[in-house]
Chain A
Amino acid sequence: MTEPIRDNPFFVLGVAPDASRIEIEREAQKLLGMLELGFADAQTYGTPLGSQPRTAEAVRAAVAALRDPYRRLVAELWARHAPKAVPAAPDPAAPEPAARAGLRRALGWRP
């Protein structure tokens, strides 16, 4: 379920979920120009899952998605409610770090 967050049009374009249609189009044009010129700042975009590579195709797809009211509604649902960042919680069920690599071999067994 990371796609709606990772590929979210709002994150791809770097605009707020309540951005107007004009703001979205303007931002997309700006990003396409920057990508064309190879600006480093435009090469990636931030998401709650970390930085993602931005391409001209992704920008065009994002603009197209946000032009459709239904698709924008779904994208907005994800973008508006996604956390700023998700630190990986320690797994309570993970075994304690007591594994000993190579012990089997040291005790005369394989592999």
Chain B
Amino acid sequence: MFGFALPYWALWWLHRKAIDARRRERSWRYLWWSSLAGVLASGMIVLGASAALLCWRIGVWWLGLVFAAWLVLPNVAGLAVRHALVPLGAVRLAFYGGYFSRPGPDAEAFGLCCAAWAFSHRPTGDGEAWLARRRTARVPLGDAEVAMTALIAAGRGDADTARQLLRSLELLVEAHPAVRELVGEWLAVDAAERGAWGELAADAVAARWPATPLSLFLEGVATRRAATAGAPSRLELRARWLLAPHRRATRPLIAEARPPAPPRRAPGAGAGAGAGAGANAGDAADPAGSTAGSTATGSAAAGSATTGSATTGSATTGSAATGSTATGSTTTGSAATGSTATGSTTTGSTATGSTATGSATTGSATIGSAATGSANLAGSAANGSVNPVGSAATGSANPAGSAVTGSTAGSEPAAEPLPRAVAAHLAFCAGAPSADRLADTVRAWDAALADPSTHTWLARRAIALDAPAGAVDRALREVAGAITDELARVADGSRLGAPASLGPVGEGLARRLRHGRLDALEQGFTRWEQRRHDGAVRSSIDEWREFIALRAAYTDAAAGGGGELRRLAFPHAFSTGSHMAAWLWNTRQEYVLSHAISKWLLAEALAVGDAEAIELGYRNCSLRVPTRLGDVQEEHP
């Protein structure tokens, strides 16, 4: 038997090495390692089958069966799981198939994921109960338990929850390579179905998940479509397609895997002159500005008086100005004292609420252009002279003169800004909400409501209609309030940030969104922590789900409210998060979850520049984390 055992063991060892090497690759070498692994697996099957046949021939058939089960089955179990057991929805068989495919240490983790994958094809109550029992028995929680919960959610048709849970695995230090491969494949297929090729290309560039042949092919399609660096050639993409399963379904994607055609310039586009150019410059500058604002916040909290663990107002000094200046927002009052520690952002934008012009920029060209564009827009809104909507009517004559001189009760009031604002508003409500459209609408309203022609027209009509005293101001307030309510509702629903605009609508909208989101976040985090005191202990997976829901809400709020809101929200999030992390570590022995929470808090502390939180975060994150695959200790600079 040694004649079989030694070569078999050598093949098995080489096969494992080839698979491990493949997981680190995303180029041609991936294909070579895959081919080698395939050849080695075939060799093992041949050897195992030969041993079993020999036993059969010499009369010890039972030993032949043992050899077949031991040497052959593990090499075909992976294929059997994917192509037979999972489509059949055989939960338990898929578990054992995954278990015996020998994916490495802690094979049960992969087996459970295969079982959940099978469950997602044919969900049954019995299967779900069985999976839940197996999951509960595994303490502490790790990446496999989160992944199988996600697949169970997918089986119920809840793709959003599945996506959110699977994405959360990035925070967990316990990493079963085979589980991560499944996770990466689900996310790749999901992104392909949604047409989120940019998201998939970003995953590929960051190499977030070890690739399966299918996810490698889809990543190739995505990177070619996004024209990112490292995109495979057409030939390599073909090779990836040949290696991947479900070739009939993926064949049409090969034809689509080409970079998007560059947009054609309309003839005479350059002759659009002043107005269009200005609007385009502003639009183009927005992303750069927001990026600058978000990235420039790290070192700005030098003077933040962070005394307690997390409840101090660390978010106030100076840093508020950094996040807002690039986009031209005006953080009136509150926190904008204006001193920034970073070298590339502007200072002291509009602490007084007057205008945002003249925000001096230093540093890169993109930041400079962003600040210039936004300053123009803000300035125009305050002056009320230029239409901030941009496109067609920019640069048109100031309507104030004609309105003052020519309007009568019955004639057209010639108040250009007001029709433009109404039109922008209706267009915003009719189409899909976007940050650009919201900004256009808000600026248009602020320009219209501040325009002298609007006031004049209202005053004339109020006199003509014999309206009560103060009707003009009341009407303006009422209109601004109604518009703000409507826009805040839409912006909140679509997770849009408040655009930078001076005026009753812009300022009211910023205030409304900031307060609403902060309140919601604080309530959420408080509820989360309160449960610790109430003794209402939930299962570990539910604790994790609650945390990632809160994290998502925090991220959305930070994305919508900008750096200022992020700094305001962080102290409370840090306080509750730190307590929960300590509780999970010390009381529940959920080391991986606790470490993930600490890691997220550290990242946020670095983003807002909270020195004390950073120090505590580094201490917590440098702890050795016990996992099923051994202790993990992450290095931090």
Contact = CB atoms under 8 A, between A and B. Distances in A.
B87 interface: yes
B368 to A, nearest CB: 24
Name B's interface SS.
helix
A5 B194 CA distance: 36
Contacts, number: 143
Given A70-B474, A104-B189, A78 B120 contact: no
A40 interface: no
B458 A95 contact: no
B281 interface: no
Interface stretch (A27-35, A55-63, A84-92): A84-92
Interface string B409-452: 11011010011011101110111101111000000000000000
A91 B478 contact: no
A88 B471 contact: no
Interface string A38-80: 0000000000110000000000000000000110111011101
B161 to A, nearest CB: 11
Interface residues of A, number: 43
A111 B87 CA distance: 13
B531 to A, nearest CB: 31
A49 B487 CA distance: 17
B418 A109 contact: no
Interface string B467-501: 11001001100110011001100000000000000
B189 A1 contact: no
Chain B interface bracket (under 10, 10 to 19, 20 to 34, 35 or more): 35 or more
Nearest to B409: A18
A22 interface: no
B155 A111 contact: yes
Nearest to B250: A107
B487 A1 contact: yes
Given A2-B426, A111-B155, A92 B434 contact: yes
Given A104-B190, A111-B157, A111-B158, A77 B487 contact: no
A103 interface: yes
Contact of A101 (B82, B193, B260): B193
B479 A77 contact: yes
Given A48-B426, A86-B423, A106-B249, A74 B479 contact: yes
13 contacts: A1-B483, A4-B482, A69-B462, A73-B475, A81-B418, A83-B419, A83-B422, A83-B426, A86-B430, A89-B430, A103-B193, A110-B121, A111-B156
Given A81-B418, A83-B422, 11 more contacts: A1-B426, A1-B486, A5-B422, A18-B409, A70-B471, A77-B458, A80-B412, A86-B423, A91-B432, A98-B195, A107-B192
Rank and list the top 8 A-B pairs by shortest CB-CB distance, nearest first. Answer: A98-B195, A99-B195, A106-B249, A1-B486, A110-B120, A69-B467, A103-B193, A91-B432
